[in-house]
Amino acid sequence: MQCPRDGAALTEERVHGIEVDHCPQCNGRWLDHHELDTLEATRAKDDDARAGTIQYAQRESDLDCPVCSRRMTAFNYRAYNLELDTCEEAHGFWLDAGEDAQVRDLIDDRVRGLNRAVRAEQAWSNFLDGVGGPGVWDNIRGFFGGRR
């Protein structure tokens, strides 16, 4: 398989426990279609943390798929400022040098955000349980009920 960026022969290597095709010249990586999910799962074991649309702001790529030679589609990964390329025939994804690390960092941020949301919901629920005693609400009802 040839690199879609510079035409060099891709070599197999293991990255984060995933066997990917690597370009020794530009340091880009070809991930088979399922391997992007596997890369994300190295940072988030929970499918909920990875759920959602992956491709935003799609446009025609400048690169051809190294498998079928068709023009790929470039897109913003999960609406972040990270542009990846994918084959419309679901052959895989092209990640330029360093983009695999950016994917992992973005998934880390996403997991932290989801964890913050869960903690905030729990804190709000605890707050409501604390003020939900009969004395507080009875006083509020009495305040508004007494002004009829």
Q: How many CA atoms lie within 13 A of 146 on its CB side?
A: 6
Domain count, the chain: 1
Per-residue pLDDT of the chain (148 residues; tens, 9 = 90+): 999 999 999 999 998 888 999 999 999 999 998 888 888 887 766 655 545 567 889 999 999 999 999 999 999 998 888 999 999 999 999 999 999 889 888 888 876 765 565 566 676 666 666 665 555 666 666 667 655 4
In the structure encoding, which two tokens stand for residue 48, read together?
Answer: 């909920």
Residue 3 forms part of a structural domain: no
Q: Give 10's DSSP letter.
A: P
* Structural domain span for residue 88: 11-145
Residue 2 in domain: no
Asked if residue 101 belongs to a domain, the reply is yes
The two tokens of residue 125 are: 């629920």
The CA-CA-CA angle for residues 35, 39, 40, to 5°, reads 120
pLDDT at 80: 86
**Any domain includes 100:** yes
